Every structure is written in C-alpha cells, then in structure tokens.
Structure 1
Amino acid sequence: MTEEIIIAGFGGQGVLSMGKILAYSGIMQNQEVSWMPSYGPEMRGGTANVTVILSDDRISSPYLKIFDTAIILNQQSMDKFEESVKPGGVLIYDPNGISHHPTRTDINIYQIEGTKLAAEMGNKKIFNMVILGGFLKVKPIVQLENVIEGLKKSLSERYHHLIPLNTEAISTGMNKITPFKVEKQVFS
C-alpha cells in the first residue's frame, strides 16, 4: 500500500499540522513516511501545502506531480491541484470560500464543511482535525489510536489538554463527510 497525498490551503488552517499528524501516524504503524511542506514567506494567510506519502515499501522520491488524494481548503488550491489527482483518486474539500466547485467526473469527490463544524464545536482551530476525520473515513489508511499518538507528538505538551477535543473533531469529521456529485452542465 502506498498513499500519496497533497493537503493545500491557506497558512493558519493547520495544513502542515495535518500532514505532520498523518506522517507521525504512519510512523506509529511502521510505515515508510515522507512529509514535504511548501509555503510562502507570509505563512499565515498565504498559501501552504504539504505532500505526505505513507507506504509499506521504500519511498523513492518525496517529490510528486500527481496524487492519490488531494485535500483542498481554498479556491487557489482547488485551481492548482484539482487536475493533479490521479484518475480514480479522491478529492476532499471544504466548500467554505470555494466559488468554483470541482468538475472532474473521473475521480471521487467528497465535501466536508470543516469551517462550519469547527465553529459549531466552539473552536475554529480544530478545523483541520474535522477535515482529517473526513479523510480517514474515506481512506482509513492509519488507525485512530495512531492518529492520537501523532497528535501527542505534534502538539506541544501545553496543548495536550486539547487532545480530547481534537479526537471529538476527528470523529465529527468521520460522521459528516459526504460524497459530492458533479452536475453536468447543459448548454442550450
């Protein structure tokens, strides 16, 4: 099993953290792991993405142009990475701020309202864990107990009291992700 993932959005949305938690989770499962972040100098508010590869075999290169899964959190990332998903692959996105929804019919598309759900749970910072939960429902490539261990590794100890809330956010995401159907446009 090899899963090649791109997670993309604005800096401050927890894009890099989500990738790091996935990477730690893979390590806990004795998988080969690659975590390669990319972000602009402005960080918060600028664009950020991270490539994560989890594999049972050695990883030949962390550099990818096409992905099994794209997790998209803003319109710029949708414009840039929708076409980078392999045919038959998965695209997961939060519709908040998306004006042009995905249009491909050769991939599996899922929508999760992470922004709205995190606000309803009372903490916008758990947005990325809601999204991660949705991803894990669609692609259960790491076990939940390893994700929680990954959270402990990536969160500073002073934030460990938030692990139950993050765990609840993951569970919420697992329950709230829905398939997105591309509507065919009819021109007259």
Structure 2
Amino acid sequence: MTEEIIIAGFGGQGVLSMGKILAYSGIMENKEVSWMPSYGPEMRGGTANVTVILSDERISSPYLKLYDTAIILNQQSMDKFEASVKPGGMLFYDPNGIYDHPTRTDIQIFQIEGTKLASEMENKKIFNMIILGGFLKIKPIVKLKSVIDGLKKSLSERHHHLIPLNEKAIYVGMNNIKPIKQLDLV
C-alpha cells in the first residue's frame, strides 16, 4: 500500500500540521514516510502545501506530479492541484471560499464544511482536525490511535490539554463528510 497525498490551502489553516500528524501516524505504524512542506515567505495568509507519502515499501522519491488524494482548502489550491489527482483518485475540499468547485468526472470528490463546523465548535484552530477526520473516515490509511499519538508528538507539551478537543474535532469531521461525486467501481 502506498498513498500519495497533497494537502493545500492558506498558511494558518494547519495544512503543514495536518501533514505532519499523518506522517507521525505512519511512522508509529512502521510505514515508510515522506513529508515535504512548501510555503511562501508570507506564511500566514499565503499559500502552503505539503506532500505526504505513506507506504509499506521504500519510497523512491518525495517529488510527485500526480497524487492519489488531494485535500484542498482554498481556491488557489483547487486551481493548482485538481488536475494533479490521478484518475480514480480522491479529492476532499472545504467549500468555504471555493467558487469554482471541482468538475472532474474521473475521480471521487468529497466535501466537508470544516470552516463552518469549526465555527460551530467555537474554535477555528481545530479546522484541520475536522478535515483530517473526514479524510480518515473515507480513507482510513492510519489508525485513530496513531493520529492521537501523532498529535502528542507534533504538539508541544504545553498544548497537550487540547488533545481531547482535537480528537472530538476528528470525530466531527468523520460524521460530516459528504460524497459529491463517486465513481462506479466495478
């Protein structure tokens, strides 16, 4: 099993953190892992993306042009990465701020209103965990226990009191993912 993922959005949305948590989760499950961030000099408010590869086999290169999965969190990233999903792959997105919704017919498309749900939970910082939960509901490439352990590794110890809230956000995401376009896989 090899899963090649691009997560893309604005700096400050937790894009890199989401990728890091997936990477730590894979390491805890003895998978081969690659985590390659990319962001502009402006960081918050600028665009950011991260490529994560999880595999049972050795990873030959962290550089990818096509992905099994894209998690898209803003319009600029949709414009840049929608075409980069392999045919038969999956695209997950938050519709907030997206005005050109995905149109591909050869991939599966899922929507999760992470911005709205984080607002309802009164904490915009858990947005990325809501999105991650939706993704893991459809594609459980790592176990939830590994994700919680990954959170412990990626959060500084002074923020460990936030882990239960982040875990709750993951479940909220799992319960609110909506299929938009599914392929007839025969």
Q: How far 1:128 moved relative to its partner?
A: 0.1
Distance 1:120 1:159 in 2: 21
User: Mind listing any 5+ residue stretches in structure 2 that lack a counterpart?
Assistant: none
- Aligned pairs (5 A) from 1:33-112: 33-112=33-112
Superposed, which structure 2 residues align to 1:1-188 within 5 Å?
A: 1-181=1-181
**May I ask how many residue pairs the two structures share in their alignment?**
182
Mean Cα deviation higher: 173-182 or 36-45: 173-182
Hey, what's the Cα distance between the residues in 1 that align with 2:181 and 2:149?
Answer: 35
SS in 2 for 1:129: helix
Q: Give me the whole-angstrom Cα distance separating, in 2, the residues matched to 1:16 and 1:152.
A: 16
Q: RMSD across aligned C-alpha pairs, in angstroms?
A: 0.8
With the length of structure 2 as denominator, give the TM-score of the two structures.
Answer: 0.97
Q: Kindly provide the amino acid, as one letter, of the partner of residue 116 in structure 2.
A: K
The DSSP-based 3-state class of the residue aligned with 1:36 is strand
Percentage identity across aligned positions? 84
Deviations 1:146-180 (A, max 9, x none): 00000000001111000000000000100100001
| Structure 2 contact 68–90 (Cα < 8 Å) conserved | yes
What CA distance in whole angstroms lies between the structure 1 residues aligned with 2:58 and 2:138?
A: 24
Q: CA deviation at 1:42?
A: 0.2
User: What do the CA deviations read for 1:43-95 (whole angstroms, capped 9, x no partner)?
Assistant: 00000000000000000000000000000000000000000000000000000
Tell me if the contact between 2:107 and 2:181 (Cα under 8 Å) persists in the aligned partners: no
Residue equivalent to 1:185: none
Structure 1: give runs of 5+ residues left out of the alignment.
183-188
Distance 1:74 1:138 in 2: 21
1: CA distance, partners of 2:120 / 2:164: 16
CA distance in 2, matches of 1:179, 1:30: 31
CA distance in 2 between counterparts of 1:39 and 1:138 reads 27
Runs of 4+ in 1 over 2 A off after TM superposition: none
* SS of residue paired to 2:87: strand
